[in-house]
């Protein structure tokens, strides 16, 4: 095994060990000593990659963001070419998919917030970029943002154990959030700019 592969394996071991500790003992019990013991590695090997607990938590959040990004791209690549609102559709489907492996996501967020809320800065920046893309493709920007926010809230409350709804009911709500036909009658152009952009990008009709 070369150094790169060994380094990557150690990083993954640390991330999984940190998640296990947060899940079992809570974020307050997360220490470098505990991570080394949980992962079965020496503290020296751990500190070669992560000098502080904050660095571990930062890597944990980056790991989750990379996972989300990969799922989003897979979902979007599988869409039909004429899929309406492809960014919104892919984002809602990605949020729904997080519920299939909830523990790692919830514990990553809990650990980061408990340790240092500023660690969520990259997540907020990513969300701002994604919402801008959702609004850019939408005729009714407010309605698309509302659908994204509802899916986000449904996912987060479920991940953190705060959602009073059962799995079947959550599934139905996600289905409705992704069903564009249910929202078409409510859509109203939010920004005149959005309409002008679509007209400008459409091919000009030939005169007869």
Q: What is the pLDDT of residues 145-161, one digit of tens each?
A: 999 999 999 999 998 88
* Domain positions in the chain: 1-51, 58-189
CATH fold label, 1-51: Arc Repressor Mutant, subunit A (1.10.10)
**What three-state secondary structure class fits 144?**
helix
Q: What is the pLDDT of residues 47-106, one digit of tens each?
A: 999 999 999 999 988 888 888 999 999 999 999 889 999 999 999 999 999 888 766 777
Cβ distance 39 to 32 under 8 Å? no
More confident site: 197 or 24 = 24
Establish how many alpha carbons lie within 13 A of residue 46's alpha carbon, considering only the half-sphere containing its beta carbon: 23
Tell whether the model's pLDDT for residue 195 goes beyond 50: no
**Rounded CA gap, 130 and 149, in Å?**
12
Cβ distance 113 to 120 under 8 Å? yes
What is the pLDDT at residue 190?
Answer: 75
* Tokens 């959040």 belong to residue: 61
* Tokens 């996501």 belong to residue: 105
**Rounded CA gap, 102 and 14, in Å?**
19
Angle CA 170–85–192, to nearest 5: 120
Cβ distance 112 to 61 under 8 Å? yes
- Quick one: 205 exposed, middle or buried, by C-beta within 10 A (0-12, 13-18, 19+)? exposed
Q: What is the pTM of this model?
A: 0.80
What is the pLDDT at residue 202?
Answer: 43
* Tokens 């970029």 belong to residue: 129
């Amino acid at each position: 095994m070369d150094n790169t592969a060994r380094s990557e394996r150690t990083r993954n071991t640390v991330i999984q060990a940190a998640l296990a500790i947060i899940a079992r003992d809570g974020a307050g019990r997360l220490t470098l000593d505990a991570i080394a013991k949980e992962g079965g590695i020496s503290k020296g090997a751990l500190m070669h990659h992560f000098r502080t607990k904050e660095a571990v938590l930062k890597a944990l959040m980056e790991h989750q963001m990379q996972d989300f990004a990969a799922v989003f791209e897979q979902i979007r690549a599988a869409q039909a070419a004429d899929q309406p609102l492809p960014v919104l559709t892919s984002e809602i489907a990605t949020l729904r998919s997080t519920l299939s492996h909830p523990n790692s996501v919830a514990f990553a967020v809990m650990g980061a917030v408990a340790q240092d809320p500023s660690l969520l800065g990259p997540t907020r920046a990513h969300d701002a970029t994604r919402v801008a893309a959702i609004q850019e493709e939408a005729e009714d920007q407010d309605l698309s943002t509302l659908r994204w926010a509802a899916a986000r809230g449904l996912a987060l409350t479920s991940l953190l154990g705060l959602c009073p709804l059962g799995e079947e009911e959550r599934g139905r709500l996600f289905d409705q959030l992704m069903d564009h036909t249910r929202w078409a009658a409510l859509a109203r152009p939010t920004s005149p700019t959005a309409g002008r952009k679509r007209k400008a990008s459409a091919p000009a009709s030939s005169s007869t």
